C-alpha cells in the first residue's frame, strides 16, 4: 500500500486516487483442487440450495401448516404439547426423578449441564486430536446425548394421544345461537366449564345432537349422571326448562 508523501486523493476526500485492479486471486498454486468461492463455488452451492428449496416447497404445499381453534385459556381439559424439538425436555419432566420434589433435576440440572458442556466443549476437550475415534469421551458423551434425545422424543410421541389432540384443537364453526335466552342461562351455569362455550365438549361430552328430550336433560342437570356431578344446575325450574329446551334443540 502506498504510504506517506505523494499520495493522491479524490477531491478533498480520503479515498486514494490510485485505482486497485479488480481481479480475482489466483489459486492455481494452492494445494489440491482448491477453487475460488466467487463465482465458481457459489454457483454450485446455489444448485444445492435450489434442490433443497424444491423439497422445502413440496413440503409446504403438501402439508398445510396447522392452526387450532382460537385460544381459550380457561379450557382446563386441554392436554398441552410443545413444538417437536422441545418434546424431549417435556418428556424428561414426566419421569419420577425429574419431577415433583426432584423437578429441578429435570428443569435445570440436566439441561444446564448439557448446554454448559456444549458451550464449553473446547475447554473440556482440549487435546489437539480431532478424529472422533481418538477422543472417545467427547464422542461417547455426544452419542449418549443423541440417543437420549431420540429416545425421549420417541417416547413422548408414542405416549401422546394424537386423536384426542386433533379433536381438542379442531376449529369448530359455531352453529350455536348465542343470543338464545337458553344460552344466556347456560353461560351463567357451571355447565360451560365442562361442556365448553360452543357446547362441543371439554371434560364432559358434546351437547350437540344428544337426541335427549328436555325432561331428560332437566333430570341430568339436577341428578347428574356417571361422571357428571348432581346439582350442577343452580336456579329455578323455569330457567332450567329454558336451558333444557335450548340444549335439546341443538342438532349436528
Binding-site residues for heme c sit at: 191, 194-195
Over the window 208 to 247, marking each residue x when it contacts ligand HEC by CB under 6 A and - when it does not, the resulting string is: --x-x----x--xx---xxxxx--xx---------x---x
Q: CA of 183: how far to CAs of 12, 222, 245, in Å?
A: 81, 18, 10
Rule CB under 6 A: choose which of 37, 112, 190, 237 binds ligand HEC. Answer: 190
Query: Which whole-number Å values give the CA distances from 118 to 6, 107, 122, 134, 172, in the listed order?
Result: 54, 17, 9, 19, 45
Site membership for another protein, residue 132 (CB under 8 A)? yes
Residue keyed to cell 485492479? 21
Q: Residue 193 interacts with ligand HEC (CB under 6 A)? A: yes
**Residues 105 and 96: beta-carbon distance below 8 Å:** no
Distance CA 188, CA 84 (A): 38
Query: Which CB, 16 or 209, lies closer to ligand HEC?
Result: 209
CB of 63 to another protein, least distance (A): 7
Residues annotated within a binding site: 191, 194-195
Residues 6+ apart with CB under 8 A from 209: 250, 251, 252
Residue whose C-alpha cell is 504510504: 3
- Binding residue (CB under 8 A) for another protein from 22, 163, 173, 236: 22
Could you give phi then psi for residue 34, rounded to 5 degrees? -65, 145
Give the residue with the Cβ less far from ligand HEC, 148 or 206.
206
- Quote the cell numbers at residue 201: 365438549
Q: Which stretch binds ligand HEC (CB under 6 A): 103-111, 143-151, 175-183, 184-192?
A: 184-192
Instruction: Give 34 or 231: the residue with its C-beta nearer to another protein.
Output: 34
Binding residues for ligand HEC, rule: CB under 6 A, are 189-191, 193-195, 203-205, 207, 210, 212, 217, 220-221, 225-229, 232-233, 243, 247
Amino acid at each position: 500500500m502506498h504510504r506517506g508523501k505523494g499520495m493522491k486523493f479524490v477531491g478533498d476526500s480520503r479515498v486514494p486516487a490510485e485505482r486497485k485492479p479488480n481481479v480475482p486471486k489466483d489459486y492455481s498454486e494452492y494445494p489440491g483442487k482448491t477453487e475460488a468461492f466467487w463465482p465458481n463455488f457459489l454457483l454450485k452451492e446455489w444448485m444445492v440450495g435450489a434442490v433443497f428449496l424444491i423439497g422445502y416447497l413440496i413440503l409446504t404445499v403438501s402439508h398445510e401448516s396447522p392452526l387450532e381453534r382460537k385460544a381459550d385459556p380457561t379450557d382446563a381439559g386441554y392436554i398441552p404439547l410443545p413444538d417437536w424439538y422441545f418434546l424431549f425436555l417435556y418428556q424428561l419432566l414426566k419421569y419420577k426423578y425429574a419431577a415433583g420434589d426432584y423437578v429441578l433435576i429435570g428443569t435445570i440440572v440436566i439441561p444446564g449441564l448439557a448446554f454448559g458442556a456444549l458451550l464449553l466443549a473446547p475447554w473440556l476437550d482440549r487435546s489437539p486430536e480431532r478424529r472422533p475415534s481418538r477422543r472417545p469421551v467427547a464422542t461417547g458423551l455426544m452419542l449418549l446425548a443423541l440417543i437420549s434425545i431420540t429416545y425421549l422424543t420417541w417416547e413422548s410421541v408414542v405416549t401422546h394421544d394424537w386423536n384426542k389432540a386433533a379433536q381438542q384443537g379442531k376449529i369448530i364453526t359455531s352453529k350455536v345461537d348465542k343470543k338464545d335466552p337458553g344460552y344466556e342461562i347456560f353461560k351463567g351455569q357451571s355447565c360451560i366449564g365442562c361442556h365448553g362455550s360452543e357446547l362441543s365438549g371439554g371434560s364432559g361430552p358434546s351437547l350437540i345432537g344428544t337426541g335427549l328430550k328436555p325432561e331428560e336433560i332437566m333430570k341430568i342437570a339436577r341428578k347428574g349422571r356417571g361422571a357428571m356431578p348432581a346439582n350442577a344446575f343452580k336456579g329455578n325450574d323455569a330457567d332450567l326448562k329454558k336451558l333444557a329446551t335450548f340444549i335439546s334443540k341443538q342438532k349436528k
